[in-house]
Amino acid sequence: MPRYALKVEYHGGGFVGWQRQTNHRSVQGTIEAALARLEPRDHTIAAAGRTDAGVHGLGQVAHCDMTRDWDPFRLSEALNYHLRNDQIAILDCALVADDWHARFTALERRYLFRLLMRRAPATHLKGLVWQVKNPLDIDAMRAGAAHLIGKHDFTTFRSTICQAESPVKTLNTLDIRAVDGPNGPEAQFDVRARSFLHNQVRSFVGTLERVGAGSWAPQDVKTALQARDRAACGPVCPPQGLYMASVVYPQDPFG
């Protein structure tokens, strides 16, 4: 059975998350239903990462196994036809080796978080950003974020329902930049690692927002990390504003 890599974009607002759930609308289940329209049978796709309810995809990557030898462009076009009303789009499609795996072959996952800083309610960006009413100290947030880079026990920043075998992860990048967007100033977080714990990025952002607001000192982030205690974490920010931005592989399957 030929295997295809899919680059997937989606608006997470209307889904319970990526993972298929009985009697609930998921990104995975919706794509699998579209595949079943092309080849009537049960389909199971695998993704580079499982995003939660309300989290968006800019460059999520998944793979599917088909019976027919599809031209990749034709397969993406056919899927987009059946997904046209679902706020999901297949941005690219490529034939890959039979042992290529969207999750296990990946070297790095990259997430983007958008934090809008303005008092007026968001209109065009509603559901696409986390909004706070007051400006944040970006330099202080960067100083706090510096304590998180590298290999650490991230127990403080993992959900209590996280199923990962170990809380030890290596965080490659946590950059924060100020963006003067057309809808107001944003703090945008670029977060990169080979793999993440459940709610890790949202725990980072919620904690660093407290630093930017002046409630925490940058050094308090290090203290929280070293506590290895979920109770030491700052607030977990909402999913709106979080995007799976891209996935890195040894060789880009999409060329």
Q: How far apart are CA 6 and CA 251, in angstroms?
A: 15
Count Cβ atoms within 10 A of the Cβ of residue 230 and give its class: 0-12 exposed, 13-18 middle, 19 or more buried. Answer: middle
Q: What are phi and psi of 190, to 5 degrees?
A: -110, 110
**Angle 33-35-41 from CA coordinates, rounded to 5°:** 80
Q: Are strands 108-117 and 130-132 parallel, antiparallel or unpaired?
A: parallel
Q: How far apart are CA 141 and CA 180, in angstroms?
A: 17
Instruction: Answer whether 117's CB lies under 8 Å from 184's CB.
Output: yes
Element (H, E) at 57: strand 56-65
Q: Which position among 52, 153, 190, 220 bears the catalytic label? A: 52
Element (H, E) at 2: none
The yes-or-no answer on residue 220 being catalytic is no
Q: Are strands 88-96 and 150-153 parallel, antiparallel or unpaired?
A: unpaired
* Closest to 241 (Cα-Cα) out of 77, 135, 111: 111
Count Cβ atoms within 10 A of the Cβ of residue 66 and give its class: 0-12 exposed, 13-18 middle, 19 or more buried. Answer: middle
User: Residue 11 corresponds to which tokens in the numbers above?
Assistant: 């608006």
Q: Are strands 3-10 and 88-96 parallel, antiparallel or unpaired?
A: antiparallel
Residues recognised as catalytic: 52
